[in-house]
Amino acid sequence: MTFSFPVISADSHITEPPDCYTAHIDPAWRDRAPHMVSDDARGDMFVIPGMSRPIAMGLVAAAGKPAEELTVSGVSFDELHRSGWDANYRIADQQRDGVAAEVIYPTVGMMICNHPDADFKHAAFTAYNRWIADYCSVAPDRLLGCGQTALRSVDEGIADLQRIADLGLRGVMMPGEPATWSEDGSGDYDDPMWDPFWQAAIDLGLPLSFHILTSRASAFESRPRGPRINGFLAIIRGIQDIMGTLTSRWCVLRLMLAGCRTTCTAWITHGSDIETGWRPASNYSGYRRSTSQSTFTPRSKMTGRRFVSPSR
């Protein structure tokens, strides 16, 4: 398949293989590493010590399946699209589908963002970064991997950014809340204490992405208030105000919101306008123009893609 413009997926995912964490985590954490188990009824599942529910593999890589074949449980890892964990197969699928490149996120790693133990998250994310760097090394110009950081402190977060860049990864999937966050609201992303972190991301040229399912507010462990869609969009609702603060102070910081639909743009813009006291009507007409010209077309037999054309 060919297109008249380069097609880049801005929100693709891998499928963590059974040894993604166990083979790459630091030895002190190996006995507690996320790992896959098999169940006769529920199929293969990732167990994350410290989280109450395992992650069934049924919908982890279900793109391309007819709706009547979709099932959460009863699926084995061997049934999943190999492209999700074998980069050579993914490149072949890119060639077949006419895809120039993909921005790649974790899958199990999204849920680990909700883990209550920041030290555990740090160990798991370090392991994942090692695995995804190796995966993307097959074709670093086409497989644009995003690393992860637990953000236990500002200084460590900055060091993580440097390590992620040194691994050749192209961006960072941020946890919904930093580990420094407190119930009184201090230590959150809009706290000036994080200013050196934002500056480091700018200096390294690393885009920072906020993805759904990475916030405790949207974890499967708790039931969201209101309709189910509230849980899906909880990560965006949770950061819309602080994102407005950040974008007003860090105009060259590159942020990405993934899996949250283009409607989030209006929320972030609105928050930024309130912070700066600047609300021109053209700002919102520009939003309408930009969203109407975006192209989002999920069509993949891998883990899933959302396509955008950089020429539009």
Report pLDDT for 258: 72
Q: Which one has a higher pLDDT value, 189 or 203?
A: 203
101: which strand partners? 8
Residue boundaries of the structural domains of the chain:
8-32+81-308
pLDDT in tens, 65-105: 888 888 888 899 999 999 999 999 999 999 999 999 999 99
Of all residues in the chain, the percent with pLDDT exceeding 70 is 70
What pTM value is reported for the model? 0.77
Range scoring the smallest mean pLDDT among 190-194, 213-217, 241-245, 299-303 = 299-303
pLDDT category at 228 given cuts 50, 70, 90 is low
Look at residue 34 and tell me whether its pLDDT is greater than 50: yes
Over 90: is that where the pLDDT of 60 sits? no
CATH 3.40.50.2030 fits 8-32+81-308, yes or no: no
